[in-house]
Amino acid sequence: MDIFTREQTKSTPWIHFDPQENHLQIKGESYPENSASFYAPMMEWLEEYLNAVSNSNIRVDVELVYFNSSSSKVFMNLFDRLEESARNGIHVEINWMYHEDNDTAFECGEEFQEDLENVVFNLLPIEE
Amino acid sequence: MQKEIQNFYHQLQEKGIIFSFSGPISQSLLEGIGQTLKQKMSLEETSTNVIHKVFSIFVELMQNIINYSAQRVTPEEAEQELSYGVLIVGKEEEHFYIISGNYIHEDQKGPLQEKLAKIKSMDKDELKQYYKQQRRLQADDASKGAGLGFIEMARKATHPIEYEIANMENGYNFFVVKAVI
């Protein structure tokens, strides 16, 4: 399987999903006009990757300064899909990184954390 | 002409209006204005949290116009679609506010009114639960957004959101919504 990657734009984050390293990274801001269609290829890649992966530890690093409400729905879908794999015995660790003075980013991370049970979901402050 | 424009400009400033736009709105316009708005607020040493809240409501309202305005131009080629509306960002007694307005179709009115009335009746905890519940629902196919925009707005605003929908003679309705941060 190939690496899935997208360059950062003003309204979409840098995405780098590496199947060999089992390391998925998202960094930037997310407020595209149509989040569902923008992230559709990423979600398709993820589906294929998770169907093939076995006996691995998956690490997910997410650092989002800001995302709009329709992106929030996509990220919930993303985490729910990882949650499903975690329920089936794959170890998934999600690191939600936020800047210390960004309360919104912290609260958003906390709300995802509250809705997930089987993945390890860490809230990690980035010191200024 | 000079006098007229100068008066218009001063009137906007007297009302504390930082930014106003009326006309065709697109994602690229949103991105440009959004950056300038953030820059302006940070130059004035607005707290990071307030900047995030204002920017967030700005994006939701601009995208609401882009996705739901009844007045739009759809190009034949795969170019960007343009939606018409009005958006105002201002500051009133230390509070930022954002107002948006656009035409909607008659069949959009009922569901919109119902949704906004529901949101208005909720406290912050109820809004949080409603947001989470809606976020996990499957998107309905007709909607480009996630149906979360107004809930997000109400959660970020410091006062309950205000809205009005007025019947127009042309069979459309004009929808106005205001959030104070």
At residue A16, what is the residue type? H
Q: Quote the minimal CA–CA distance from A88 to chain B in Å.
A: 21
Identify the bridge partners of residue A94 per DSSP, sorted by sequence position: A60, A121
At residue B30, what is the residue type? L
Q: Report the pLDDT value the prediction gives residue B120, as an integer from 0 to 100.
A: 93
User: Residue A56 falls within a domain, yes or no?
Assistant: yes
What pLDDT band is residue B147 in, cutting at 50, 70 and 90?
Answer: confident
User: Residue A77 falls within a domain, yes or no?
Assistant: yes
Mean pLDDT, all residues of chain B: 91
Q: In sequence order, what are the residues at sequence separation of 6 or more whose Cβ sits closer than 8 angstroms to the Cβ of residue A89?
A: none
φ/ψ (deg, to 5) at A69 = -65, -35
**Which DSSP letter does residue A2 get?**
P
List the single residue in B31, B48, B146 with the smallest CB-CB distance to A10: B31
Closest C-alpha to A59, from A29, A30, A20: A20
Closest C-alpha to B102, from B24, B18, B155: B24
User: Residue A61 falls within a domain, yes or no?
Assistant: yes
Query: Which of chain B's residues have a Cβ under 8 Å away from the Cβ of A102?
Result: 48-49, 52
Identify the bridge partners of residue B102 per DSSP, sorted by sequence position: B175
Q: Report the pLDDT value the prediction gives residue B143, as an integer from 0 to 100.
A: 58
Q: Quote the minimal CA–CA distance from A20 to chain B in Å.
A: 30
CA distance B53 to B44: 16
φ/ψ (deg, to 5) at A28 = 140, -145
User: Residue A5 falls within a domain, yes or no?
Assistant: no
A69 and B60 in contact by Cβ < 8 A? Answer: yes
Query: Looking at domain B2-180, which of 3.40.50.720, 3.40.640.10, 3.40.50.970, 3.30.565.10 is its CATH number?
Result: 3.30.565.10
State how many domains chain A has: 1
Tell me what the mean pLDDT of segment B152-161 comes to: 94
CA distance B130 to B128: 5
Tell me what the mean pLDDT of segment B30-36 comes to: 95
CA distance B102 to B82: 13
Closest C-alpha to B146, from A38, A11, A62: A38
Identify the bridge partners of residue A28 per DSSP, sorted by sequence position: A64
| pLDDT over threshold 90, residue B158 | yes
| pLDDT over threshold 60, residue A51 | yes
**Cβ-contact B173, B166 below 8 angstroms:** yes
List the single residue in A10, A80, A115 with the smallest CB-CB distance to B132: A115
User: Residue A2 falls within a domain, yes or no?
Assistant: no
Largest CA distance in chain A: 39
User: Residue A29 falls within a domain, yes or no?
Assistant: yes
Interface test mutation site (partner B, options A33, A67, A126, max chain B beta carbons within 10 A): A33
Range of the domain at A117: 18-126
A69 and B152 in contact by Cβ < 8 A? Answer: yes
**ipTM exceeds 0.90, yes or no:** yes
Identify the bridge partners of residue A93 per DSSP, sorted by sequence position: A59, A120
What pLDDT band is residue A38 in, cutting at 50, 70 and 90?
Answer: very high
Tell me what the mean pLDDT of segment B110-128 comes to: 94
A111 has a chain B CB within 8 A of its CB? yes
B interface with A, Cβ–Cβ below 8 Å: 27, 30-31, 35, 48-49, 52-53, 55-56, 59-60, 63, 66-67, 128, 132, 135-136, 139, 144-146, 148-149, 151-152
Q: Which tens digits make up the pLDDT trace of A88-120?
A: 999 999 999 999 988 999 999 999 999 999 999
User: Residue A6 falls within a domain, yes or no?
Assistant: no
φ/ψ (deg, to 5) at B72 = -150, 160
